[in-house]
């Protein structure tokens, strides 16, 4: 079976690496002009002229990147199965559509409003009560296209820094920590949930994910599974879906979702019985799902901007190194390391020991450090 992947970055690379043992072949469709998957066949098509060539080469289609035109995915879906469905792509591309769907399904979100000018941004900040966070409705990722307003008077500067015709304004959530849940739905509707991860960001970029997240109550896990199940079923979704949440004293609040495998699930390659990548390939290929149960405790450390001393990391018996074959550039995701352990105490020690070889890795602080 040949799987067509829309997008050609490191997520596509890891999808292919997990699909080869199941005898899948991969064709990547790249509209950015800078593919980095580094394996499989790559079709670079900045103007959308090679869609028919791509369609002729693949049996099923999925994506590893959600910022591509929905009409391209819809056109492809007329010819070949596209999983997840283009509607999922459409919802995840647009923060207004996403927050509206959360609301319709009863999934808690921060209070929000829309603004299309500096003046309406100021009004929204006043109405919601500062601090608020304003985000471009489309095209934002890794904290880009966002501004925090501590007072409504900051609206004009915030508007100029975002530079987008429409923003969503959210009340700033006073969260205890950021968590995510990853789940996968098969063609026959079967579901599997990974244990939730605790995610530590710096400057909007994920740096560490600990899974299973420590100190997680059953109520919180049940709520997260209920929310993602509702989304999967509502969208008649096939494949891996990720839901990012804030954990607060009042429970979970949804931030955003991604219609794909996710950075906060890279730990599953070594840390779960079936990785998120393999389960995604299984789902989109029409196969049964594999177990999402963890194998002990994991922490994923992102390698950002510079590679560091990877040979020293390779010497550590508990660390698993993944390099994406990309050139160094500030803030660029170049690889990750998954550290495994049998206790959280051991995990913290091993993560700190590994991070010392990654220049620029912020010190590891999490619920475990409290």
Q: Which residues bind ligand AMP (CB under 6 A)?
A: 110, 133, 135, 140, 143, 170, 172-173, 178, 201, 204, 244, 255-256
Nearest to 335 by CA among 297, 357, 302, 362: 302
Which CB sits closer to ligand AMP, 87 or 135?
Answer: 135
Helical spans, DSSP H, in 213-360: 218-234, 268-271, 276-285, 310-314, 344-355
CA distances (Å), 246 to each of 10, 68, 183, 312, in order? 26, 27, 17, 35
Question: Minimum distance between the CB of residue 173 and ligand AMP, rounded to whole angstroms?
Answer: 4
Question: Minimum distance between the CB of residue 145 and ligand AMP, rounded to whole angstroms?
Answer: 8
Which CB sits closer to ligand AMP, 83 or 177?
Answer: 177
Which CB sits closer to ligand AMP, 192 or 253?
Answer: 253
Question: Minimum distance between the CB of residue 228 and ligand AMP, rounded to whole angstroms?
Answer: 16
Question: Minimum distance between the CB of residue 36 and ligand AMP, rounded to whole angstroms?
Answer: 22
Cα–Cα distance, 76 to 53 (Å, whole number): 11
User: What would the two tokens of residue 29 be?
Assistant: 């469709």
CA distances (Å), 160 to each of 121, 134, 144, 147, in order? 11, 12, 14, 10
Question: Minimum distance between the CB of residue 221 and ligand AMP, rounded to whole angstroms?
Answer: 20
* Bond prior to 17 in cis (omega within 30° of 0): no
CA distances (Å), 253 to each of 107, 170, 237, 248, in order? 8, 12, 22, 7
Which CB sits closer to ligand AMP, 48 or 204?
Answer: 204
Which CB sits closer to ligand AMP, 60 or 333?
Answer: 333
Which CB sits closer to ligand AMP, 172 or 344?
Answer: 172
Reduced to 3 states (helix: H, G, I; strand: E, B; else coil), residue 78 is coil
Question: Do 338 and 313 meet the contact criterion of CB atoms below 8 Å apart?
Answer: no
Question: Minimum distance between the CB of residue 133 and ligand AMP, rounded to whole angstroms?
Answer: 5
């Amino acid at each position: 079976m040949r799987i067509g992947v829309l997008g050609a970055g490191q997520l596509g690379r890891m999808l292919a690496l997990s699909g080869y043992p199941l005898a899948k072949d991969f064709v990547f469709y790249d509209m950015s002009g800078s593919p980095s998957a580094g394996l499989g066949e790559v079709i670079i098509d900045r103007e959308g002229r090679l869609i028919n060539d791509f369609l002729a080469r693949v049996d099923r289609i999925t994506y590893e990147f959600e910022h591509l035109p929905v009409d391209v995915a819809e056109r492809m879906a007329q010819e070949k199965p596209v999983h997840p469905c283009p509607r999922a792509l459409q919802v995840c591309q647009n923060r207004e559509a996403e927050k509206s769907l959360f609301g319709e399904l009863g999934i808690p979100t921060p209070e929000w409003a829309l603004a299309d000018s500096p003046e309406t941004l100021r009004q929204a900040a006043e109405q919601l009560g500062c601090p608020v966070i304003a985000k471009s409705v489309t095209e934002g990722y890794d904290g880009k296209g966002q501004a925090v307003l501590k007072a409504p008077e900051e609206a004009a500067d915030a508007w100029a820094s975002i530079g987008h015709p429409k923003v969503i304004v959210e009340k700033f959530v006073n969260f205890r920590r950021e968590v995510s849940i990853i789940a996968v739905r098969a063609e026959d509707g079967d579901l599997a949930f990974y244990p939730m991860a605790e995610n530590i960001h710096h400057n909007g970029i994920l740096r560490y994910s600990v899974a299973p997240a420590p100190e997680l109550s059953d109520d919180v896990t049940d709520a997260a599974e209920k929310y993602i199940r509702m989304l999967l079923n509502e969208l008649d979704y096939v494949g891996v879906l990720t839901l990012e949440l804030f954990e607060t004293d009042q429970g979970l609040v949804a931030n955003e979702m991604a219609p794909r495998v996710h950075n906060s699930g890279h730990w599953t390659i070594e840390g779960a019985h079936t990785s998120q990548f393999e389960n995604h390939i299984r789902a989109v290929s029409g196969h049964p799902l594999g177990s999402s149960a963890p194998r002990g405790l994991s922490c994923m450390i992102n390698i950002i901007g510079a590679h560091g001393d990877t040979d020293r990391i390779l010497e550590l018996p508990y660390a698993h190194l993944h390099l994406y074959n990309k050139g160094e550039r500030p803030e660029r995701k170049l690889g990750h390391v998954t550290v495994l352990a049998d206790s959280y105490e051991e995990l913290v020690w091993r993560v700190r020991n590994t991070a010392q070889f990654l220049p620029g890795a912020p010190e590891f602080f999490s619920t475990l450090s409290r």
